[in-house]
A and B are shown apart, each in its own frame.
Chain A
């Protein structure tokens, strides 16, 4: 089907970006970003002080368990591939081969889709951002969870578009029923599966059912299923929603190379879904947003499935070790299908974070409404987790609980 530019723009307009007046310095809503760069930027904006927004740092070399990164990095094959492309750093990403077009083709082929089904983003954050730009408006709200990855929430708030946050359920899973109840008339529904920071996952059947029911009551609402942690899931009932997205209007999946692929620093993510859903995202995203070196890194990684399987196993082992050690301290974690734990540390996340930082371990930021009891702990290497667990034992030992209001 032919889509004219006019149709595309009218679609974007109906989606809401074009109702947007220029903004005048609205503050960024609470950090919707994992990376320290954003935190330290805002720290600086508030008056210099590098990293002023981040946890206090120990003098000793620290182990960073705060941003759900892959501690192993991208892998040797990827790094060799990057070095091999140094001769092309002066070329735009569309002037090298393989370039961004080949990355799109490769991603599409892996999912039995066409290039028109894929849009690249500078990290999946750009995908989330342009989805909010394009699909919400003052009249069409964002439905999201709390807590969840806050990027979409922050973007919508900055634009002054309404946001409905639905608290996770008693098992810290997305409350799909509650989200469904707020779906009618929504512009965008953000479903983070697995959910950051609570680490929980919904089954393929549950997502399929959710999509069908949203489609029945609010067919114009766009459903964004963010599968940033897809590669780490070990629940057999889990399925990617990509096949649903490729066959259902107004549904798309976001993926990233920042997590299991170990390339958070390279800034590569993508959206995949039906052409009419994805095309506005591609138009709103920055042109040539993936660097030449990022492109070759992603292509190399996609062609190395064994490396990915090994990374999943490595993470699972370190995660299980850490979870058991925390269990032994009486600190329960949610059922994690990611590279982090969401753990009831029996005190405020701030207190836990500060105590850990004093011993060289950086753990996650506050995640309201659970910041009084739960901390998010990213999974590093087994060696890092062994050192971290020693610190956790010290910090969380019953004698150190203080108020001792552990639930």
Chain B
């Protein structure tokens, strides 16, 4: 039996060109495949769990989304027996809300499918994938499976993408995976810098596609925050990935999408769209339409809720001498000073589940997803016990 540990190797913060096998060691599947191979991987504590391991929205979707799922059953409950044709309704609703055309959009069974399709279409044996280390690992893991080269670029000292080194690595690359905010380190590069970076890449490497993963877009609180969608719809070498799994609170329904120039979208569709469409379940389609219909107020409220719980948690750690990176996501990346595994196991035994290992930082840093304020207050009490830090709740 393969264990995940076989693949986990510690690597130094290397220069561009680190081996792909080390980059993907932590894997990009948020534990799915491995939870099947290693059922014991997720240790369960007795009693209720506070899940702070997968960057989910603890509030779940809005009531209108749940109502839409109920409606999707149909009056006699027979509708899920049918193949759904609601994909176009979702595409129309999304296009309208984003100010793009339906031809700018394709869907995935989660943005995972978008990442895989992009990797398949835009990399090759002689066209590398480029990304930071660490980052969300799906593209690298898939490129590795394809036998396509992967160039990993270490972060800067503030755990932000090192744009100069990323640029160097991008020459001749097939695809740059640009996760912003970057999972697992939570940092964000402002819109002006990102646009400059994209322009620079295309000056030195005109054929390279840049996949901007905006999975955590809705949680960003940076003053210079903009989507790259307006760029993407004008330039077939830029694709934006989005998901309903994070702020919209329907990770369980599996719905993501890409926005790009019709030529890029067509290329992706030619590889996997018909199957991509068929991988979407009918409840997700209707949930997605309802989620969009909630308008910006829903996302604004969720951003504010998350920011408050995030600030509370970061402050709790800071007050005890443990620094976190500057988070613009619904998780924090924190220097706990002990191996992530040790912290994770200790927390799990007390009913709090935190993030997996993220090499090369797994010896001292941990990713902690942000739950509700109530969950975070209970969680920091556990963190205090596990880390031997006094004063569970000192500030709200």
Contact = CB atoms under 8 A, between A and B. Distances in A.
A3 B267 CA distance: 35
Interface string A150-163: 00001100100000
Contact of B88 (A21, A41, A87, A265): A41
B252 A91 contact: yes
Nearest to A10: B147
A41 B127 CA distance: 30
Given A33-B274, A90-B250, A265 B80 contact: yes
A265 B282 contact: yes
B33 A283 contact: yes
B343 to A, nearest CB: 19
B209 to A, nearest CB: 10
B226 interface: no
Contact of B270 (A3, A5, A158, A297): A158
B85 A51 contact: yes
A288 interface: yes
Contact of B278 (A38, A50, A70, A291): A38
A51 B35 CA distance: 40
B82 A289 contact: no
A3 B250 CA distance: 35
Interface stretch (B10-18, B70-78, B306-314, B377-385): B70-78
A89 B274 contact: no
A89 B267 contact: no
Interface stretch (B55-63, B155-163, B227-235, B359-367): B55-63
B51 A91 contact: yes
A241 interface: no
Given A18-B147, A69-B82, A287 B245 contact: no
Contacts of A291: 252-254, 281, 283-284
A41 B125 CA distance: 31
Given A2-B2, A25-B266, A64-B82, A12 B145 contact: yes
A40 B278 CA distance: 12
A42 B274 contact: yes
Interface in B142-197: 144-147, 174
Contacts of B284: 291
Contacts of A40: 85, 87-88
B252 A74 contact: no
A292 B33 contact: no
B77 to A, nearest CB: 5
Most chain B CB inside 10 Å of its own CB: which residue of A41, A69, A158: A41
Given A91-B54, A287-B32, A37 B77 contact: no
A22 B32 contact: no
Nearest to A54: B85
Interface string B1-39: 110001100000000000000000000011111011101
Contact of B66 (A25, A36, A89, A267): A89
B278 A101 contact: no
B342 interface: no
B60 A288 contact: no
Interface in B104-133: 109-110, 112-113, 116, 120-125, 127
A50 B85 CA distance: 10
Given A38-B278, A291-B281, A73 B145 contact: no
Interface in A78-136: 79, 82-83, 86-96, 99-101, 104, 115-116, 122-123, 125-126, 129
A92 B32 contact: yes
B46 interface: no
Nearest to B60: A90
Contact of B112 (A35, A42, A258, A288): A288
Contact of A126 (B82, B270, B279, B282): B279
A26 interface: yes
Interface in A1-52: 2-5, 8-9, 12-13, 17-18, 20-28, 31-38, 40-42, 44-45, 50-51
A33 B274 CA distance: 8
Contacts of A9: 144-145, 147
Contacts of A351: none
14 contacts: A2-B1, A21-B124, A23-B120, A33-B274, A35-B83, A36-B84, A37-B88, A86-B66, A88-B252, A115-B36, A262-B80, A265-B83, A265-B283, A297-B80
Interface of B: 1-2, 6-7, 29-33, 35-37, 39, 42, 51, 53-54, 56-61, 65-66, 69-70, 73-74, 76-88, 91, 102-103, 109-110, 112-113, 116, 120-125, 127, 138, 144-147, 174, 245, 249-254, 266-267, 269-271, 273-275, 277-284, 287
Given A73-B73, A293-B253, 14 more contacts: A22-B174, A32-B274, A67-B83, A72-B78, A82-B283, A89-B65, A89-B253, A90-B57, A90-B59, A90-B60, A92-B245, A264-B80, A267-B280, A283-B33
Question: 3 tightest CB-CB pairs across the interface, nearest first?
Answer: A292-B252, A35-B83, A265-B282
